[in-house]
Structure formats: structure tokens, C-alpha cells
Amino acid sequence: MSTRLPTRPPKFESVNAPRFAIVASEYNPEFVQGLINNTCKELYKIEERSAIELFSAPGSFEIPFVAEMVAAMRKHDVVIALGLILQGKTKHAEFIAQSVSGALQQVALKHAVPVIHEVLLVATEEEARERCLGKELNRGVEAARAAFAILRTRQQLRVAASGRPVK
């Protein structure tokens, strides 16, 4: 697990404003809202023209279903999944986290739309605060930076596929 945020990518260069869909869980609202706020703030810092549309899911388990519907619309350049699963005394949280992870990957592959996975499985509320509300290890900021990184990679791949020289 990383212990610090990746560096902010350079200014995003594109003719069109990047379009992001955020699919966020309504469960654990204080922490998920922190992820949403930090993701949006960082997306706008990197590219002020960013277009962001928010979709909600009742809980983390339902995020892949909503992400599937959003990706199928083909309106967004990147889907960002945000949620928090708090580990309890049983393995239930682990089962949900594994299911969500696999399903989100399938959505990305099926639709060829990048899906940034920040549905967090944490052991304690302290960990949740650090990752969702904190400044040094905020996963919302990390999600935004990863979204722009994958957009750059996709641009490079499209240029390479077109036969034009890659810059």
C-alpha cells in the first residue's frame, strides 16, 4: 500500500474538456463525501474545464451496477468509483470488496472505459478518516490523479494506433 500521494500530473492538454462520472456510495456518507469533495477539487485543479457528473449507489456492492450503466452510456472519458467498506468481525466486508473489485474491472474491459477504483476496505474509522478526509494520503486526490494519468495513456495509445508519431 502506498504511503503518499502520487505527484500531480502536468496540465492536461486536450481540445475537449475531459468528462468524468463519479459513482459514489451513499453508505458511510461522511467519508464518501470527503472522497467526492477531494476528487472534484483535484480534478478541477488539474483541468479547470473538467466536466463532472455524480451518480449515487446505495452501497459499495451496488457501485459496479451503476458504473456499468454509466459506462454503457459512452458519455464519459473516465468513471471514478468511490466508496468505503468498514471491516467488521466477519469476512462479509472482504467478500464485498472482492466482488466490487472484480466487477469494476469487468466494466472497464467490457466498455473500454477506464474505471478508477477507490472503493476502500479499511479496518478502522481512523484509517477511513486518514484516507477520505486527510491531506497526506487522500484517496480522492489519488483517484483524480489516476484519472488524468489513464487519459494521457489512452491519448498516447490512440495516437500510436493512428500511425502518427507519438510525442
E strands present in 60-167: 78-86, 115-122
Written as tens digits, the pLDDT of the chain (167 aa) is: 555 555 666 555 556 899 999 999 999 999 999 999 999 999 999 999 999 999 999 999 999 999 999 999 999 999 999 999 999 888 899 999 999 999 999 999 999 999 999 999 999 999 999 999 998 889 999 999 999 999 999 988 888 888 776 55
What is the rounded CA–CA span in Å between residue 119 and residue 83? 4
Task: Tell me, yes or no, if the pTM score tops 0.85.
Answer: yes
Residue 160's pLDDT is 85
Query: Whose grid coordinates read 472482504?
Result: 94
What is the rounded CA–CA span in Å between residue 58 and residue 65? 11
Residue 41's pLDDT is 96
Domains (range + CATH), the chain: 19-162 (3.40.50.960)
Question: Of these residues, 76, 92, 111, 117, which one is catalytic?
Answer: 92
What is the rounded CA–CA span in Å between residue 58 and residue 26? 5
Identify whether the C-beta of residue 86 lies closer than 8 Å to the C-beta of residue 62.
Answer: no
Partners of 84 in the beta sheet? 120
Please indicate whether residue 117 is annotated as part of the active site: no
What is the rounded CA–CA span in Å between residue 166 and residue 92? 46
